[in-house]
A and B are shown apart, each in its own frame.
Chain A
Amino acid sequence: QKEVEQDPGPLSVPEGAIVSLNCTYSNSAFQYFMWYRQYSRKGPELLMYTYSSGNKEDGRFTAQVDKSSKYISLFIRDSQPSDSATYLCAMSRSEGNKLVFGAGTILRVKS
């Protein structure tokens, strides 16, 4: 069993839809949770960074962490074609420690 599970998709939605991306994990020691966006043939770009459980909002993006269920989510409101990319969840046990990545979910937003 992988430490971090993420559905690779692809997930295809119409423009304007609300997108929900999720990861589950098995290691309860993870404390720091991140979402990265990666365009084709580019390096990952940090989108959201959260510590422990709770919600965090930044513009059209909301990150949720439920440590009791070992489940994290990223919501994208009013999705745009420019949001089409691979979204990677990542987590670590301590701040600055090495990251464990999910497989990435391919998102396609159709105009």
Chain B
Amino acid sequence: GAVVSQHPSRVICKSGTSVKIECRSLDFQATTMFWYRQFPKQSLMLMATSNEGSKATYEQGVEKDKFLINHASLTLSTLTVTSAHPEDSSFYICSARGGGVAGGAISDTQYFGPGTRLTVL
């Protein structure tokens, strides 16, 4: 149980285009999803927290108009990087948290997706 998927796993795009990344909880309902970015050999930096059906809460310094987050259902959240530029190139990772994880595993902790590598040319 507690599987989180991300799509795509990697994407290369031209500067100025927008890129959408999907995060899905496959076997549990995620009341909250988190979006992180990770630069090479660095730790995860929380970008925003999203709760199903409400607006995302962004961390200080993260542009909400550039990184659009939609948490439309209890199993899906999307991150759209708008007008991407080379400095947005990074590894983007989502995590999902929800009660009642299948199989009786730990509820209420975060389970991470495999990440999406974004390269902006």
Interface residues, chain A, with chain B CB atoms under 8 Å away: 8, 32, 34, 36, 41-46, 49, 88, 95-96, 98-99, 101-104
Contact = CB atoms under 8 A, between A and B. Distances in A.
Contacts of A98: 34, 46, 49
Contacts, number: 50
A51 to B, nearest CB: 10
Most buried by B among A34, A36, A43, A88: A43
20 contacts: A32-B109, A34-B109, A41-B117, A42-B115, A43-B93, A43-B112, A44-B44, A44-B112, A45-B112, A46-B106, A46-B111, A88-B43, A88-B44, A96-B110, A99-B46, A99-B110, A101-B43, A101-B44, A102-B43, A104-B42
B108 interface: yes
Contact of B115 (A43, A46, A49): A43
Contacts of A34: 109
Interface string B54-71: 000000000000000000
Contacts of B77: none
